[in-house]
Amino acid sequence: PRCSTHEDKIREYIKKEAEKLGFQTEVDEIKNLVVRIPSNRDSEGNKLGVVLQSHIDMVCEKNENIQHDFSNDPLKLKTIEIDNEKWLTAEGTTLGADNGVGIAYQLAIMKKMHDGSLDFDALDLDLLFTVDEERGLSGASQMDKNLISGKYLLNLDSEEDGRFTIGCAGG
């Protein structure tokens, strides 16, 4: 679990994974994290700078009858079937898929860029992990703007499956 204002463990995990793969990381005063993945192209001026952003906190809520300490207890996951489709859910607590799915995309991109199975030849990529989205977007709104260098930012969080949101889904 990674409740708002308690994102230290997930941020450190992401930071260590990125550094283990040889990528540069930086944390700003608000505790947002950026992982820099430089392009493979040597020539300056022709690179495209893109930022992929997700937030690393989650809504930490539990059912009334559930004993759960989000600071120490792991989530209990299970699969359920709805209309002949399997869904992952948590027992008595929120799952954290918002925005855990975005974090998973970013971790997968890091690993694939490192092992060469994914290559953006002319793309400087910043993976931005912001804090405290669930309580008012303070991580994104108070972010040090020098933390990222990309001209374009894609937010990996949205309200509706299968749709792009232009702007902010939550604010």
Catalytic annotation, residues? 57, 133
The pLDDT value recorded for residue 100 is 85
Q: Is residue 23 part of a domain?
A: yes
pLDDT tens per residue across span 76-107: 999 999 999 999 999 988 888 888 889 999 99
Q: Is residue 127 part of a domain?
A: yes
The pLDDT value recorded for residue 18 is 98
Q: Is residue 68 part of a domain?
A: no
Non-local CB neighbours of 30 within 8 Å, separated by 6+ positions: 131, 132, 138, 139, 142, 143, 144
Q: Is residue 151 part of a domain?
A: yes
DSSP string, 87-111: EEEESSB---HHHHHHHHHHHHHHH
Cβ-contact 29, 96 below 8 angstroms = no
Q: Is residue 161 part of a domain?
A: no
Give the SS3 label for residue 46: coil
Q: Is residue 112 part of a domain?
A: yes
Q: Is residue 30 part of a domain?
A: yes
The pLDDT value recorded for residue 166 is 63
Provide the domain count of the chain. Answer: 1
Q: How far apart are alpha carbons 127 and 76 in whole angstroms? A: 28
Cβ-contact 6, 71 below 8 angstroms = yes
Question: Rg of the chain over CA atoms, in angstroms?
Answer: 17
pLDDT tens per residue across span 36-73: 998 876 656 667 889 999 999 888 889 999 999 888 88
**Is pLDDT above 70 for 170?**
no
**Is pLDDT above 70 for 8?**
yes
Q: Is residue 165 part of a domain?
A: no
Torsions phi, psi for 168 (to 5 deg): -120, 130
Quick count: other Cβ atoms within 10 Å of Cβ 30?
16
Q: How confident is the model at residue 165 (pLDDT cuts 50, 70, 90)?
A: low
CATH number for the domain harbouring residue 19: 3.40.630.10
Task: Identify the domain containing residue 147 by its residue range.
Answer: 8-60+74-155
pLDDT tens per residue across span 114-133: 998 887 777 889 999 999 88
